[in-house]
Amino acid sequence: MAYIAMTTGFVLILIGLYGALTNRNILRMIVAFTVANTGVNLVMVAVGYLHGRTAPILDAAVPVAEAAARIIDPLPQALVLTAIVIGVGVTALMLAYAYKLYESKRTLDISAFKDLKW
């Protein structure tokens, strides 16, 4: 199961990178970066999964003495949760920049923004 999630994550990363590099529209580039971000999160969750172990919750089902051998490390899950929040913030910032660029040039084509080129 972890291999399917990891393969899907890598496919999403490749689709996102391809979309970001081939599109000229800023909104499509933002969507492509978001797809790549989702793929990275999926790969991180798949790396943290260990077959045959349970969730990192200590209760009557998992005694404290056996916790190290029977639970999954919660650190990758916490990192992915943090990465999701940061990804949403970065996406919102990119969309705000795209809106301001559209207000100034009335286009979202990346080739129209040549003001800082030499």
CA 57, 52, 43, 75 torsion-angle sign: positive
CA 14, 18, 21, 27 torsion-angle sign: negative
| CB contact at 8 A, 12 and 35 | yes
pTM: 0.86
Closest residue by Cα to residue 45 from 86, 85, 15, 4: 4
The pLDDT, as a whole number, for residue 117 is: 67
Res. 115: pLDDT tops 90: no
pLDDT tens digits along 3-57: 999 999 999 999 999 999 999 999 999 999 999 999 999 999 999 888 888 888 8
The pLDDT, as a whole number, for residue 31 is: 98
Q: Tokens for 83?
A: 């990465």
- Ranking 24-38, 55-69, 83-97 by mean pLDDT, the lowest is 55-69
Q: Tokens for 51?
A: 């077959």
